[in-house]
Structure 1
Amino acid sequence: MDRRLFVRHCLMASAMGPLLPKTLLASSPTDRLTALRDEPLRRVAFGSCNDQTKRQDHWTWIAREDPQLWIWLGDNIYADRATLGQRREWYRLLKTNAAYQKFIDQVPVLGMWDDHDYYNENADGSYAEKDGSKALLLEFMDVAYDNPVRERPGVFQSYAFGPSGRRTQVILLDLRYFQDKNRTRRSLLGELQWQFLEEEILQSTADLFLIGSSLNVSSPVAVSSLEGWRAFPEEQKRLYNLLAATDKPCILLSGDRHMGEIYRIVLPSGKPVYEVMSSGLTHAVGVKLPSPERLGEMVGRKNFGFLQIDWTDVGPEVQIRLQSAERAEVYHARGANFSR
């Protein structure tokens, strides 16, 4: 970071005031994330649906797994129809929580939003103050001030970790900023984001892709207020075609539905892709929906997701786990088989 960016970083951090307590300003989340870039990812934790007004004991259980990286998958706070000032205070409440503060002092964090932290349930790109909401999210995530995401619309991002042969690319999608529910031209990602995603995948030297989608990708059920890629069939097909265009293994990470599930999707090309839906951290439900791709049972209790990645001479071996956010218990574990 050059001197001008450093000064800008300090001034903007100072302007955020209560959102960034002194203990966090003294440390450097950005530096911790940068230091991780050269390391092969082996332990990745992720989750969604975190009500900041509820107990935050789950951070202790997640920390026990010693993750190298935490990925927020949306609904990081609940601030429906809040003003930007109110939303800022909700972020501050979470960021100053002792358990979460201790966690992020140790673990680098990435993430994007979903509807409840973006603005309101099922909100789309018509939200007038979405750029202000974006600024608050990026501050909460401690996104570096020289990160390209700050200079373009939306909050989609991409990060590469590890050396050649053990490189993981983490791509975070934005399903809110560009979403258009117009019946004649329904759009989820928008063309700018599609161009970004296609370039990131087709030009990447990664050996494993982790793609964060706040909404469920593969479930055949997406009706009324229950959102999912299924409600945007052309975009779902476009995503599947893009994933089929790379021979590298892909794992989709999703949230939103207040339950946990693991899926194995076989694309029309015959390529298998896994999806892990982890939701929620502070509240969950046990509504079982039909899904032919689901592996094992649905998890209707508070949970987080975890990937154990072992790097071999022939590629990554990945164990996918859904774990309790309340105790030392693994609800569901599967080894990913990327063979056709």
Structure 2
Amino acid sequence: MKIRLIVSAFVLTAFVQGCKTPKVEVVKQAKTQYDTTIAFGSCNKQNIENKLWVEVVKHKPDLWIWGGDNVYADTDNMKKLEADYNKLLANEDYKRLRETTKITGTWDDHDYGLNDGGVEFEAKKGSQQLFLDFLKVPKDSERRYRKGVYSSQIVKALNGSVKVIVLDTRYFRTALTDDKKNKNRYEPGVYGEGTILGEKQWQWLEAELNGSDADFNIIVSSIQVLSAEHGFEKWSNFPHEVDKLKSLIKKSNAKGVMVLSGDRHISEFSKTKIEGVSFPLVDFTSSGLTHVYNGFTSESNKYRVLEVVPELSFGVLKFNFEAKTVLMEMRGVGNILQQKLLQTY
């Protein structure tokens, strides 16, 4: 009897278990720490080996942003400029990046065509079309008929988005003020006189920020926005334009605004507080991709955090939408981590 009871209990248990819905083990895909990755860089001489493309590709960025001086042409000869772009496009390592990553960006003076050039450059219309050809912008795009190369796009992830607002600091920029007192190249002009962006681009930028519901907003400027004490090109050569940008960021209530810049042949982080804005404004400068300021010793920048990196470098931004953080990295040859800044928004 005892044996029968044990057997019956076993059979009953087996029967009951057999009637249950089978338990299916759900293996969730491990969530990565970052939702979106964007890489950027500037100052790329097409006749010099670029050792960084292979490293950029390793990060599998969702977007690559050109920060300007994408080729060094310095010419009003459009055939030469086109040949310089074609040489870069033929680079096998850059081809691999183009095959796997969306690409956008702006120009600076050397690919614009005139060193430190602005509104006065007579070949700018032709140069603009070649720049858009380089970025593979469709022939029927509105960008083909608008003066200047400014543009915007949104990088979407499952749980958030990043808006990339690319500025043109060349096409409309008025004359710089030569520094006749010191050894610097330029000095700030009279407050309220001159412009970097021009009226129409300012109106466009205001609309882009005011209408943004993105979790983060990147403003791409070929020249530095915050660093103000050196004598080269910078936003503070037009100090009222810096104030106007800060005011616009505040009034727009756009989330997570940051600046990416190039030009300087050094890389650094600059950061400041805008009154009435809950997060600091970071200007992440990454320069250059093929050559750097080898003779760099020191340079004042009251907004700098961490150190200047005068080495071949590109920038990587890793976004975490849930934590509202951006990990900003400077990466060099061999993918070495040169410096990083974790910013919470």
TM-score range, shorter chain: 0.7 to 0.9
- The answer to whether the aligner puts 1:227 opposite 2:233 as a matched pair is yes
Contact 1:165–1:207 (CA under 8 A) maintained in structure 2: no
User: In the superposition, relative to structure 1, how do residues 287 and 156 fare at CA in structure 2: closer, same or farther (>3 Å)?
Assistant: farther
In structure 1, which of residues 27, 36, 42 is the aligned counterpart of residue 36 of structure 2?
Answer: 42
Contact 1:157 1:173 in 2 (8 A): yes
What's 2:20 paired with? none
For each residue in 1:233-292, what CA deviation from the matched residue of structure 2 results, as whole angstroms up to 9, or x when unmatched? 011100011111215111100000000001221113354111100000001113432112
- Determine if the alignment matches structure 1 residue 123 to structure 2 residue 117: yes
Secondary structure, aligned partner of 1:295:
strand
Partner of 1:36: none
Of 319, 341, 344 in structure 2, the residue corresponding to residue 334 of structure 1 is 341
Query: What is the CA-CA distance between 1:80 and the residue it aligns to?
Result: 1.1
Paired letter, 1:205: D
Note the 1:122-141 alignment, pairs <5 A. Answer: 122-141=116-135
Give TM-score, length-normalised by structure 1. Answer: 0.83
CA contact (8 A) 1:222 1:230 kept: no
| One-letter amino acid matched to 1:56 | N
Counterpart pick for 2:264 among 250, 253, 257: 257
Tell me the amino acid that sits aligned with residue 227 of structure 1: E
Q: What code does the residue aligned with 1:274 have?
A: V
2:62 pairs with 48, 51, 68, which one? 68
**Correspondence for 1:142:** 136
1:211 paired residue among 208, 212, 219: 219
Match of 1:293 among 282, 303, 312: 303
Deviations 1:56-97 (A, max 9, x none): 221001111111110000000000125111000000111011
Does 162-171 or 258-267 show the bigger shift? 162-171
Does structure 1 conserve the Cα–Cα contact (< 8 Å) formed by 2:63 and 2:101?
yes
Of structures 1 and 2, the larger Rg is shown by 2
Alignment of 1:176-325 (within 5 A): 176-181=170-175, 185-223=193-231, 226-245=232-251, 246-271=253-278, 272-285=280-293, 286-312=296-322, 316-324=324-332
- AA at the equivalent of 1:249: G
Q: Which amino acid aligns with 1:88?
A: E
2:215 and 2:321 in contact (8 A); partners too = no
Report the Cα distance in structure 2 between the residues aligned to 1:336 and 1:218, rounded to whole angstroms. Answer: 17
Gaps of 5+ in 2: 1-33, 177-188
1:154 correspondence with 2:148: yes
Residue of structure 2 in register with 1:80 after alignment: 74
With normalisation by structure 2, the TM-score equals 0.82
CA distance in 2, matches of 1:81, 1:222: 26
1:113 matched residue in structure 2: 107
* 1:166–1:311 CA contact under 8 A, matched in 2: yes
- 2:160 alignment partner in structure 1: 166
Identity among equivalent pairs (%): 33
Deviation string for 1:7-53 (max 9, x for gaps)? xxxxxxxxxxxxxxxxxxxxxxxxxxxxxxxxx96110000000000
Opposite residue 244 of structure 2, the aligned amino acid is R
Question: Do 2:217 and 2:254's aligned partners in 1 also have CA atoms closer than 8 Å?
Answer: no
Contact 2:37 / 2:63 at 8 angstroms: preserved in 1? yes
Provide the rounded CA distance (Å) in 2 between the counterparts of 1:139 and 1:250: 29
Matched to 2:259, the amino acid is L
Q: Secondary structure at the match of 2:321?
A: strand
RMSD of aligned C-alpha atoms?
1.7
Partner of 2:5: none
Distance 1:247 1:43 in 2: 20
Give, in whole Å, the separation in 2 of the partners of 1:259 and 1:251.
Answer: 19
Query: What code does the residue aligned with 1:231 have?
Result: N
Contact 2:35 2:157 in 1 (8 A): no
| Secondary structure at the counterpart of residue 177 of structure 1 | coil
Task: Please tell me whether the aligned partners of residues 78 and 116 of structure 1 are also in contact (alpha carbons under 8 angstroms).
Answer: yes
Q: Specify whether residues 93 and 163 from structure 1 end up closer, same or farther in structure 2 by C-alpha distance, changes over 3 A only.
A: closer
Task: Report the CA distance between 1:306 and its aligned residue.
Answer: 0.4
SS in 2 for 1:162: strand
For residues 97-135 of structure 1, give each alpha carbon's deviation from its aligned partner in whole angstroms, at most 9, with x where no partner exists.
111112211111001100000012100111111010000
Please, which runs of 5 or more residues in structure 1 have no aligned partner?
1-39
